[in-house]
Chain A
Amino acid sequence: DAGVIQSPRHEVTEMGQEVTLRCKPISGHDYLFWYRQTMMRGLELLIYFNNNVPIDDSGMPEDRFSAKMPNASFSTLKIQPSEPRDSAVYFCASSPWTSGNNEQFFGPGTRLTVL
């Protein structure tokens, strides 16, 4: 398996623009997570899905952020409109969550810069 795939790897945009980050989880994993990493706040969970259904979005910072998972092999995180303080590395992770094994596997991340 290729692991968790994220695109793009780098995104530079201007304030006010819409940004869409994409993630393909590991095949067979039932859980998908979106995290954000900044120097100030470290790694924070934004939202996670189980079998394509959003379970907990309490970490989503504002209404400008939205996430979808239309099928088991694809998820998006959208920021509209983007602001400079959204600049961070966004990670997607997936987990099989079988009994005794809920290890999370991370993608390489998308480095977002909002000017």
Chain B
Amino acid sequence: KQEVTQIPAALSVPEGENLVLNCSFTDSAIYNLQWFRQDPGKGLTSLLLIQSSQREQTSGRLNASLDKSSGRSTLYIAASQPGDSATYLCAVEDGGATNKLIFGTGTLLAVQP
């Protein structure tokens, strides 16, 4: 059974720092991996999707990498801003194109001004 873990559970950094959020999964046979952002009391916003054949995706200050063989993904946020404060969730879609996303428990990020 696929399990997704995110470390750390919470992170507090001063504004301007570069930071890395980690996501690991137990079964490397995934179809894709998706990173989301969730603001308090709000829904999920898709940030980046990495197909299983890809190594990384970039969007603005965000860069996500994927190492399927080791069951790991990282989300790199450059020059963090207070507006980046949110919970970041990674989710994997199991191999076989089942469309079923299995979510990690998230990392709560606080960027201090």
Using CB atoms and an 8 Å cutoff, list the residues of chain A in contact with chain B: 4, 31, 33, 42-45, 48, 50, 55-56, 91, 93, 95, 97, 100-109, 111
Contact = CB atoms under 8 A, between A and B. Distances in A.
Contact of A48 (B34, B99, B104, B105): B99
A55 B99 CA distance: 10
Interface residues of B, number: 25
- Interface of chain A, main secondary structure: strand
Nearest to B105: A42
Contact of A102 (B42, B93, B105): B93
A114 to B, nearest CB: 19
A106 B43 contact: yes
B98 A56 contact: yes
- Interface of chain B, main secondary structure: strand
Contacts of B105: 42
A31 B98 CA distance: 11
The 10 closest A-B pairs by CB, nearest first: A106-B44, A43-B103, A108-B43, A106-B43, A103-B49, A109-B43, A42-B105, A103-B46, A45-B100, A107-B43
A100 B49 CA distance: 10
B17 to A, nearest CB: 27
17 contacts: A4-B43, A43-B91, A43-B103, A44-B103, A45-B101, A48-B100, A55-B99, A91-B44, A100-B51, A102-B49, A102-B93, A102-B97, A102-B99, A104-B101, A107-B43, A108-B42, A108-B43
B11 to A, nearest CB: 18
B89 interface: yes
Interface string B78-106: 00000000000101010001111111111
A95 B101 CA distance: 12
